[in-house]
């Protein structure tokens, strides 16, 4: 009887851990690219107030890990991209990283996931790609060395790891990484019972094709819009399920039909630049609330291709981060403003009824502006040294970007740094916007509808 009791106890322990490991629940991504964010201790209080079950960090900041002690919040930490190559060939370096960034905080801080790098396949082709799995194996060995076997090792990839995602049944990994990166990665994740971490945003495909993709379909709002996969005949009622199933089918195609998926990031921007449609509080709240409702549903909903399967998830992000580079939406994914107040009401536990939420401000930018001209000008009071550097960058891109501000040309006068920078920024943006150029320049530029042209100098513009 004693032996049987011990066996039953062991089995219960395994079940407890397994169910806790894959339980449905929503976490929050805690980014720190802001110069006005609350302290780690205050942030931890705010995370608890949001009722997050998990928190994902993009490093292993000691003060944050200390603040998360004894909170019962599962924590994900990250090895930075720049260390991957060195760790992949150096077990001592891996051991040192784990002994410094994990051992002092575990188990008081519930570190459950150790992510190696962040979306490295989204960067230009480089040797880091092929060092990823060797580095993950080194980190896994280090964790085992220190007796930390419950911590899962993974790496977040974005949807651009796929060569094809439509229809979902045609989900296929990129051919240049499929055999040398993806297959070894899936083999490692499978043998260690870990997750395929996926960063997935319906906002970006919708924003690039707002005519062909219904907004409500992208927001997971109830709608009559559906899509039937012509191969599987599965019916989709929202874009998120389509994207997730494309990855499930891609994994199945290379021999891993039962790989567990974890959404490492998802969300919708609550604001953005003038030219970015759909980025508003109403849509952000609708999407995130709908995702939470889907993920926390009991019994689990899963996806059409994987019905009833739990998909643990992280919402991006905790704060609006004012130092994130890129388009304006990048700085407006937060559930909270930097002062700690809510951008809109939200409950990550999924327990608060929708009827309890206050009305949201109606969206005003769900369609592209018509008859509007946009310009990109220097921010007033910008640091002059940084502004000069940005001016040199814009002019250095070629395509006669700055010909008009050369001595004797139409836009040379007034001969001021601000004037020349505004022209250069607008000229650069007009030429390179279609290929990813933004009106940001590390916070030195801003969009405006006010034409800065003078009688003799005509600024180029973005026309809607």
The Cα 401–Cα 379 span in angstroms is 19
pLDDT value of position 22: 56
- Taking residues 177-185, what's their average pLDDT? 96
Architecture of domain 23-356: Alpha-Beta Barrel (3.20)
Indicate whether 7 pLDDT > 50: no
For the chain, helix (H) and strand (E) counts, in that order, are: 14, 16
Of the pLDDT bands very low, low, confident and very high (cuts 50, 70, 90), residue 368 is confident
- The reply to whether 119 belongs to the active site is yes
In the set 163, 191, 252, 265, the catalytic residue is: 265
- The reply to whether 163 belongs to the active site is no
Indicate whether 15 pLDDT > 60: no
What residue ranges do the domains of the chain occupy?
A: 23-356, 373-463
pTM: 0.89
- Percentage of the chain lying above the pLDDT 90 cut: 84
What average pLDDT does the chain have? 92
Indicate whether 132 pLDDT > 60: yes
Of the pLDDT bands very low, low, confident and very high (cuts 50, 70, 90), residue 49 is very high
3-state secondary structure of 263: strand
pLDDT value of position 23: 61
**Angle value at C-alpha 98, between 251 and 146, nearest 5 degrees:** 95
* b/e map 313-324, b = 16+ CB within 10 Å: bbbbbbbbbeeb
Tokens of 302: 């899963």
In the set 119, 252, 345, 356, the catalytic residue is: 119
Of the pLDDT bands very low, low, confident and very high (cuts 50, 70, 90), residue 24 is low
- In 3D, which of 345, 351, 264, 242 has the Cα closest to residue 76? 264
The Cα 329–Cα 242 span in angstroms is 23
pLDDT value of position 299: 93
* pLDDT tens-digit readout, 378-406: 999 999 999 999 999 999 987 788 999 99
- Taking residues 148-161, what's their average pLDDT? 96
């Amino acid at each position: 009887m004693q032996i049987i009791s011990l066996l039953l106890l062991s089995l219960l322990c395994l079940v407890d851990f397994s169910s806790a490991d894959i339980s449905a629940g929503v976490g929050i991504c805690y980014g720190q690219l802001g110069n006005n964010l609350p302290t780690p201790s205050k942030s931890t209080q705010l995370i608890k107030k949001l009722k997050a079950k998990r928190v994902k960090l993009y490093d292993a900041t000691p003060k944050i890990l200390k603040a998360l002690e004894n909170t019962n919040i599962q924590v994900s930490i990250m090895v930075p991209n720049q260390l991957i190559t060195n760790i992949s060939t150096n077990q001592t370096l891996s051991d040192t990283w784990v002994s410094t960034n994990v051992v002092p905080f575990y188990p008081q801080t519930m570190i459950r996931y150790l992510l190696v790098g962040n979306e490295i396949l989204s960067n230009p082709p480089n040797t880091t790609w092929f060092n990823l799995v060797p580095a993950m194996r080194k980190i896994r060995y280090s964790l085992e060395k220190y007796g930390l076997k419950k911590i899962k090792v993974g790496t977040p990839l974005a949807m651009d790891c796929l060569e094809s995602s439509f229809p979902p049944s045609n989900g296929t990994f990129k051919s240049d990484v499929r055999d040398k990166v993806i297959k070894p990665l899936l083999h490692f994740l499978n043998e260690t019972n870990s997750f395929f971490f996926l960063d997935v945003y319906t906002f970006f495909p919708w924003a690039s094709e707002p005519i062909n993709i219904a907004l409500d379909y992208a927001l997971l709002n109830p709608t009559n819009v559906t899509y039937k996969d012509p191969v599987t005949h599965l019916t989709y009622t929202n874009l998120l399920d389509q994207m997730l199933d494309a990855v499930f089918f891609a994994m199945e195609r290379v021999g891993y039909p039962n790989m567990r998926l974890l959404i490492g990031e998802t969300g919708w921007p609550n604001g953005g630049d003038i030219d970015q449609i759909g980025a508003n509080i109403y849509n952000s709240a609708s999407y995130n609330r709908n995702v939470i409702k889907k993920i926390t549903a009991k019994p689990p909903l899963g996806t059409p291709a994987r019905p009833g399967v739990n998909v643990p998830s992280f919402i991006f992000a905790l704060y609006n981060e004012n130092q994130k580079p890129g388009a304006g939406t990048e700085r407006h994914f937060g559930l909270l403003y930097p002062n700690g107040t809510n951008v809109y009401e939200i409950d990550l536990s999924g327990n608060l009824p929708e009827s309890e939420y206050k009305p949201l401000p109606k969206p005003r930018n769900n369609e592209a502006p018509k008859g509007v001209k946009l310009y990109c000008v220097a921010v007033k009071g910008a640091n002059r040294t940084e502004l000069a550097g940005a001016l040199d960058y814009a002019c250095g891109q070629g395509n006669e970007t700055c010909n008009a501000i050369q001595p004797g040309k139409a836009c040379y006068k007034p001969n001021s740094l601000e004037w020349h920078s505004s022209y250069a920024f607008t000229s650069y943006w007009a030429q390179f916007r279609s290929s990813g150029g933004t009106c940001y320049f590390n916070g030195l530029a801003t969009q405006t509808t006010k034409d800065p042209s003078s009688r003799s100098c005509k600024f180029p513009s973005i026309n809607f």
